[in-house]
Amino acid sequence: MAVKPFQVKMDEQAHKRLKSRAAQFGITIGDMIENLLASFEFRVRKVYDQIEADGRIDSIYLDNTIVRLLMDKDQGNKTDEQFEDELKRAVKAMRKDQWAPSIKSGEDCPK
């Protein structure tokens, strides 16, 4: 995989903290950002495993909901119970809208 330089706009204090954290681990800022993203993506996957999505649900809406809920929870804006309730509502809404194809023949068709 190619490694390319990128510029990222961020608050100066956030950059100082990021640089300090990277130095603690003896890695570059880029590697630290990748590690933080990977850590967060593992958390998202854990939620998908928790709701037993296993590829049956492919939804940007659900993915955005999970990410938003995790960030709200991290910031202290959601309790564990609120997180679980909102997640259940989002999953229920997604599953309700899923159509399962079915081929009917002969006696299966309404008359």
Annotate 50-83 with DSSP letters as a single string. Answer: HTT-TTT---HHHHHHHHHHHHHHHTTSS-HHHH
The phi and psi torsions of 95 (rounded to 5 degrees) equal -70, -35
Chain segment 8-58, per-residue pLDDT in tens = 899 999 999 999 999 999 999 999 999 999 999 999 999 988 887 655 566
The pLDDT value recorded for residue 36 is 95
Mean pLDDT of the chain, nearest integer? 86
pLDDT band at 67 (very low <50, low <70, confident <90, very high): very high
Work out the angle at residue 107's Cα, subtended by the Cα atoms of residues 101 and 108, and round it to the nearest 5 degrees. 20
Percentage of the chain modeled with pLDDT above 90: 57
Return the minimum-mean-pLDDT range out of 24-33, 37-46, 75-84, 91-100: 91-100
- pTM over 0.95, yes/no: no
